[in-house]
Structure 1
Amino acid sequence: MNSNNCFHCGDDCGKKAIVLDDKNFCCNGCKTVYEIFSGNDLDYYYDIQSAAGATPKTLDGRYDFLDSTPIAEKLIEFNDGDLQIVNLYIPHIHCSSCIWVLENLNKLNPSIKSGQVDFPKKTVRITYSSAAISLKEVVLLLARIGYEPYISLDDFDNKKKSVDRSLIYKLGVAGFAFGNVMFLSFPDYFDLSTSDASGGEFWLNKYEPVFHWLMFLFSLPVIFYAGRDYFISAYKGLRSKILNIDVPIALGIFVLFVRSTLEITFDWGSGFFDSLTGLVFFLLLGKFFQQKTYSFLSFERDYKSYFPIAITRISKEGKEETTQVHDIKRGDRLLIRNEELIPVDGILINGQARIDYSFVTGESEPVKKESGEKVFAGGKQLQGAIEMEALKSVSQSYLTQLWGNSIFQEDKASKFQTLTDSIGRRFTIAVLSIAFLSAAFWLYYDPSKVMNVFTAVLIIACPCAIALASPFTLGNMLRIFGRKKFYLKDTRTIEQLAQIDTAIFDKTGTITTSKKSTATYEGMPLTEAEASLLKNTLRGSNHPLSRTLYSLLSEQNIITLDEYEEHIGKGIEGSKDDEHIKAGSASFVGNDQVSDALNTSVHISSNDSYKGKYIFHNEYRDGVSEVFKDMSKNFDVAILSGDNEGEKSRLEKLLPKLTPLYFNQKPQHKLEFIKALQEQGKKVLMVGDGLNDAGALAQAEVGIAISENINVFSPASDGIMDASKFQQLNNYILASKKAMKIIKLSFLLSLTYNVIGLYFAVTGQLEPVIAAILMPLSSISVVAFATISTNFIGRNID
């Protein structure tokens, strides 16, 4: 950096530089930011990237409006006592150092709990203690360190208004230059500039130097504007000691430009300006289509697609009805059962609210709420049923954001390396090795060809096709799966799904359906008061057996329980006045003498007196036998059930012979079972209902939650499958494996082009027309192959 450039932002300090610690600053704002960083032991920010900051703006009371509570509430997405969360759009986010600063705001001010950056959207989600720091102070802190947020209350909900069009502009510049350079290159392609048919000098010959220098001029904006991101990415990667796939791309572009410039300067030839502009244009075109693909996926993958769930709405007549979450309107009265996610902000009407906001904040301590208090979307009710009034409709992307919250990522992503990461690094090393080895060979045999061979290898062996193969293939598969009601968290999940060799299934609510199940009662008749209390206790539970029994019992007056508690894997209990009822396993209700061995049963006790049991007759999903038969051909399959062995003989008839069946498995047992399989080197798929299986879903390489029209959402899952598509599970997995084969075939196709090109390059025979054809043809054919192939796979999934 120039010695007179600002140490913080890199701008020219002019004649009046401000000096501190032997460093120049262009203004007091930059100096203040440096003092903040160095005073908080964060000055190693500048080691990540020099001059990465932005010049802080003069504030002058610009954010005084945030002192207004009504205005601040429009911006704050979560506000519960001492804790507030705000999501701000930061236009200046542009590199890894920006992410680093914004995710370390807690070191600048301990009242800020955390910062989570969404780099593609240029937003930061900040969690802070409102008792110690206000929203205005948070915004002022961001502005002082050069990350001033963009706030527009008129259209704050529509953050897409600030669209980054730079890629479109760069693509336009590269396309314009490419078209003109190709036109100017026609004399070279067809050898029109040397002689006519009679052997005389052709008239284009005298214009040849002009054409060459025009091509040079057209290439300048391509290099210094359209293609600069590849140089920046390569530079940052090398500074971080990471050999990313942009390194050979940037090196190839640079060498192509330098060699072409030298050729026309010393009249050695016409250069490779057509290949240069074409290369950048097709790289940007691929990036543009990739961006459009992900933008389209982002639209399709909002909460409406991701969550094939419903919520119970209470009509004005008091009738409970199931409705889709996106149909919720302001003023609707909603029933939230135990373990259900609150889909919208609202006011608690009745019931005992004990809400787990860890999905939103990461804080696991439940929060108690009284009638009349506000409850927020993303909280999970932990104590029976509550009724609330919706204050707004469901946010377009809020639930999706919860699913992608870094709190739930843990170590899964860090343990898994994508195919592109693996091949890309090896490819980069291979290309650089071939270039240097070829140069060394020709240095010994014919030094005049060294430069030609070295540059030709870097030019022709461009990894752009490899860089495009995975995003287009997996992105399109993600979209296809979504249309087939199989919703995966991200493209990485497809790669992990393709590697699984073991599939573990829960039973109740997973391979059984609550919609067709029936139950019979055996025991002492329940009194009217006991039946009412049982019905209202079941009303608060989301367990499949509870939901089934609730729907089978006769209607009762809705009452608010004094106490409710659900014991995971055991049962539920509720009380009203002096009456107390329990429903669950025999041991839970206090009757160890009753045998559960032969039936799936829910036992009932009233005031610690055993009454009887409801015996369930499970109804298995259509196609269960076919699914297990198909999957057992390629995978190890097993059933892990929390129920007793009452269904064992029936399951043995339904499932392939010798399918392992494990009963009486508590949630912790399921998790440990999967962990034991992984220690044996198994890649495990866990399929559950998202309730008692959260730990197992999180532990498995891929966790799939079955959704059957109930508002049970587990961020621990990697995917959600509509229950109606259960029969297609094996097809989804096979489609994932086929998608990975498509990527490998795309790599092979790209490698074929590279081998052909490298042959001409290494032997010193590379012609401009070969480079001009092979490089763009490689990218276009790979993208077309990936798109057509994945669409073909999609059509074969029913």
Structure 2
Amino acid sequence: MVKNSEYKSCYHCGNICDTVEIDYDNKVFCCHGCKTVYEIFSESNLTAYYDIEKSPGARPKVNEGKFDFLKDQQILDKLLEFNNDSIQIATLYIPHIHCSSCIWILENLHKLNPKITSSQVNFNKKTVRITYQSQTCTLKEIVILLSNIGYEPYISLDDYSDSKKQINRSIIYKLGIAGFAFGNVMFLSFPEYFEVNEYWLDHYKPLFRWLMFAFSLPVVFYAAQDYFISAFKGLRAKILNIDVPITIGILVLFIRSTIEITFDIGQGFFDSLTGLVFFLLLGKFFQQKTYSFLSFERDYKSYFPIAVTKIVSETEEIPIQIYDIKKGDRLLIRNEELIPVDGILIKGHASIDYSFVTGESEAIDKISGDKIFAGGKQTSGSIEMEALKAVKQSYLTQLWSHDIFNKNKEEAFVNLTNNISKHFTISILTIALVATTFWLFYDANKAMNVFTAVLIIACPCALALAAPFTFGNMLRIFGKHKLYLKNASVIEQLAAINTIIFDKTGTITSNKKSTATYHGEPLTDGEERLLKNTLRGSNHPLSRTLYDILKANDIVTLDAFEEHIGHGVQATLHDMNIKVGSAGFVGKFESEKSLQTSVHISSNNTYKGKYTFYNSYRTGLSKLFNQLKKHYDLAILSGDNEGELNNLKKILPTKTKLLFNQKPEDKLEYIKYHQTEGAKVLMLGDGLNDSGALAQSEVGIALSENINIFSPACDGIMDATVFHKLEQFLIASKKAIQIIKWSFLLSLIYNLIGLYFAVTGQLAPVVAAILMPLSSISIVVFTTVATNWISRKLV
């Protein structure tokens, strides 16, 4: 039923039903679009959307024809970040995202359309990343669905270039309005400041006061709305967040000022009110710009120590860092390596695991000429591909830091900040009420000023800023020094480490300097060629070392390749089969256990011989272990035999635990056992055979030496050239925690001094509003300078 109405608001979007009112299901809607959205939610059992926030939706205005351009394949190629035969992924910018209800409905799109596999919202960037089944659904259908429920995406091809980022300009508009109002209110306040009387007093004083009131309205109800929304949501969730005292202060100033000019008992505090909001927003703007800068540094400029092999010619291959990849480069992707960039498959049998991207672990087979996408992992030997674009490093970071791969590690200092803020707010409200009560009896004229000044000056914003800015800058600094960490919580975990466990081969030994000699029956030319090409597809440190040692041979495409983690690799070419690995793997029975690190070879099930390796340990290993032994329990877990036991005992400190013949599962169980005894473990490994141990430890770091290591199991990637700096990184992590504690103390001193002047009535609210962001800025400056200072020792 449709009828006229003037006062009722729409159940979906909250707009006043000024022209029509549609009654449906005992609810009122302003248009058929809002009613349709409600029906969609109701049929899909998603009406809890309206329980999270009142009238959270937007009035849908859909013209389906405007999205016809999404049928163009060239445009789709630019918008889609992943596209194969069955799954497509697109990240869309949704300007209307504004509250928890928006997040809830956008992350439940699969209930509205079962062809949508998943949808994830980034609230800060106002984007939603949607994965859907491309065989039965199109991007146009997704966009129309979003538009129908009031979340029409803003689509511009410029927004999807690597050099541009979505910017929320809301705070700039609010800051501009607050600044404009503040300037005008100050100007209108001058006559009363200077006590101008006579003609002005009778004719213009009421006008000026009501003009100040008018200027304050957009400041309170628009510029300051984020503080009100945050405080309301916190109270509704029974949490006293840091915006509660600010909101109370703004309301007290506005209500008190309005009462004074209404009853002509004073000029009010509109200058303090508008100045307060302006300086609060100025501090918030500075905070966002600074944090955005740190995020930009992490996403785009941090050193990401992952190498990939570039094929220069038929006989020359060189390792290059992934950010040096250019369009047209020909790349070699070995078994278990990540595809760092979109490209075309040129040669080889591709069986690609896209679970990093899609969450689906089933491998997808590709043939020469097919397009393959960044984020997939090759699982069936080596392939060659041609890069279609440069690496988008932020995309790889996003995959690595994906929530589904994160371990449930307690973020102690984040919780500490929240707890301090909660108790801080309760304390400040109590102090404000007690001080105001005192001044009401002692000097009522100062009571409101004292109440407002206490609420504003004692804001714990500086407390909330200490941890994110300290950790953000440390992530950036570590990245520049070739240690790339997944997130801020890894720094906290590093600071708590008391046990360090190392893998041996490829971790404390250097692949580049190792040598090997062959013992056994000579290999034929065909066997040598097959051996070389088999090793070419493996990423195991011994395979890489032997591959570099062997003379160049023709590069061929293998008929079959299979890697058995912890045992060896085997491959087939025409009628020839080769196995490379442990003695047991190739079928060799050893009457006496060799104490040398060896790789055995069999051809067509006939044992041929073995390569014996002579390890070269990393420069500075002995010095590093002697330094670490003072503060940490050290252990080496190796899958090799005890051949290097005596050498290690000579160069490593006494009581270093040395365990050999350890399978991947043995390493995992070793870490588990010691964790039950209170050990906080840092594991350093190659990221391939040690993935289980890296995931089990508090912090797992993969060492990269021209290897494309990229695994959700590791919390950090360290370039092999900075291995000797491990202790310095651990010291820097501990000092970062100390910086946060010092920041807490500095913030407490600020607040105590400010409270003294506020409680004694010596601090005006507008001055408090200026000092509050200054204290926050000083904390940011302190943490930035302090973290840069401690980073000098990392050189």
Q: Give TM-score scaled by structure 1 length.
A: 0.90
Asked whether the equivalents of residues 193 and 204 of structure 1 are also in contact (C-alpha less than 8 Å), the reply is: no
CA separation in 2, counterparts of 1:459 and 1:685? 43
In 2, the alpha carbon distance for the partners of 1:445 and 1:564 equals: 88
After TM superposition, the structure 1 = structure 2 runs for residues 108-257 of structure 1, keeping only pairs within 5 Å, are: 108-153=112-157, 156-157=160-161, 160=164, 162-175=166-179, 219-257=216-254
1:64 to 42, 65, 68: 68
CA gap 1:797/1:203 in 2 versus in 1, 3 angstroms: farther
The 1:287/1:496 distance shift into structure 2, 3 A limit, reads farther
* Equivalent residue number for residue 509 of structure 1: 506
Q: Do the aligned partners of residues 382 and 117 (structure 1) sit closer, same or farther apart at CA in structure 2, a change above 3 Å counting?
A: same
Task: Go from structure 1 to structure 2 and tell me whether the alpha carbon gap of 1:772 and 1:288 turns closer, same or farther (over 3 Å shift).
Answer: closer
1:371 to 368, 378, 393: 368
- Find the partner of 1:289 among 275, 286, 291: 286
Residues in 1 aligned to 2:32 and 2:405: alpha-carbon distance in whole angstroms: 41
Q: Is the 8 A contact 1:306 1:400 kept in 2?
A: no
Check if 1:520 corresponds to 2:527: no
Q: Measure the CA separation in 2 of the matches of 1:467 and 1:638.
A: 38
1:323 aligns with 2:320: yes
Q: Distance in 2 between matches of 1:165 and 1:137?
A: 29
Kindly indicate whether residue 37 of structure 2 is the aligned counterpart of residue 40 of structure 1.
no
Match of 2:32 in 1: 28
3-state SS of 1:146 partner: coil
Distance in 2 (CA, whole Å) between partners of 1:60 and 1:559 is 52
* Counterpart contact for 1:564–1:573, Cα < 8 Å: yes
Q: Distance in 1 between matches of 2:478 and 2:687?
A: 20
Cα deviation per residue 1:108-129 (whole Å; 9 max; x = unaligned)?
1111110112222222111111
What secondary structure, in the 3-state scheme, does the structure 2 residue paired with 1:786 have?
Answer: helix
Specify whether residues 234 and 646 from structure 1 end up closer, same or farther in structure 2 by C-alpha distance, changes over 3 A only. farther
Work out whether 1:312 is the aligned partner of 2:309.
yes
1:537 aligns to what? 534
Task: Return the alpha-carbon distance in structure 2 between the equivalents of residues 623 and 131 of structure 1.
Answer: 56
* 1:401 aligned onto 2:398: yes
| CA pair 26-786 structure 1, distance change in 2 beyond 3 A | same
Change (3 A) 1:397 1:769: closer
Larger mean Cα displacement after TM superposition, 163-172 or 381-390: 163-172
Taking structure 2 as the reference length, the TM-score comes to 0.90
- From 764, 768, 772, the counterpart of 1:771: 768
1:687 is aligned to 2:684 = yes
> Does the 8 Å contact 1:757/1:770 carry over to 2?
no
Secondary structure, in 3 states, of the residue corresponding to 1:532? helix
Mapped to 2, the partners of 1:94 and 1:769 lie a distance apart of 29
Q: Is the 8 Å Cα contact of residues 120 and 130 (structure 2) preserved in structure 1?
A: yes
- When structure 1 is superposed on structure 2, of 277-286 and 517-526 the one drifting more is 277-286
Residue type matched to 2:136 in 1?
Answer: A
Contact 1:283/1:464 (<8 A) preserved: no
Equivalent position amino acid for 1:347 in 2: I
Task: Say if 1:193 and 1:205, in contact at 8 Å, map to a contact too.
Answer: no
Q: Partner of 1:11 in structure 2?
A: 15
Secondary structure at the aligned position of 2:505 is classed as: coil
Counterpart among 289, 300, 310 of residue 297 in structure 2 = 300
Q: Which moved more, 1:743-752 or 1:761-770?
A: 761-770
Q: Which residue is 1:85 aligned to?
A: 89
| Structure 1 pair 268–473 and aligned structure 2 pair: CA distance change class (3 A) | farther
Distance (whole Å) between structure 1 residues aligned to residue 179 and residue 647 of structure 2: 65
Q: 1:272 to 1:318 in 2, by over 3 A?
A: farther
Amino acid at match of 2:556: I
Aligned-pair CA distance for 1:552: 0.3
Deviation of residue 203 (structure 1)? 14
The residue identity in structure 2 corresponding to 1:624 is L
Code of the residue aligned with 2:689 in structure 1: it is: N
2-structure distance, mates of 1:268, 1:654: 85
Q: 1:785 aligns with which of 779, 782, 787?
A: 782
Q: Which deviates more from structure 2 when the two are superposed, residues 614-623 or residues 662-671?
A: 662-671
State the 1:766 CA deviation: 5.2
2:387 aligned partner: 390
The structure-2 alpha-carbon separation of the partners of 1:227 and 1:645, relative to structure 1 and needing over 3 Å to count, comes to farther
- Contact 1:255–1:458 (CA<8 Å) still a contact in 2? no
Cα gap change, 1:682/1:221 in structure 2, threshold over 3 Å: closer, same or farther?
A: farther
Alignment partners' CA distance in 2, 1:557 and 1:573: 18
Alignment partners' CA distance in 2, 1:355 and 1:699: 26
- Give SS of 1:359's match: helix
Cα offset, 1:785, TM superposition: 1.8
Shift of 1:356: 0.8
Offset of residue 684 of structure 1: 2.6
Equivalent residue number for residue 667 of structure 1: 664
1:564-575 alignment runs, 5 A limit? 564-575=561-572
Q: How far 1:104 moved relative to its partner?
A: 0.9
- The question of whether the paired residues in 1 share the 8 Å contact of 2:411 and 2:489 is answered with no
Structure 1 alignment gaps of length 5 or more: 196-200
The one-letter amino acid of 1:616's match is F
Q: Give the CA deviation at 1:386.
A: 1.0
CA contact (8 A) 1:194 1:202 kept: no
Cα distance per residue 1:141-192 (max 9 Å; x no partner): 111111111223466435836532222233344445556777889999xxx8
1:198 corresponds to: none
**Cα–Cα, structure 1 residues 153 and 218, in superposed 2: closer, same or farther, change >3 Å?**
closer
776-785 or 256-265, which deviates more: 256-265
Q: 1:784 to 1:67 in 2, by over 3 A?
A: closer
* SS state at 2:511 partner: strand
Deviation at 1:95, TM superposition (A): 2.0
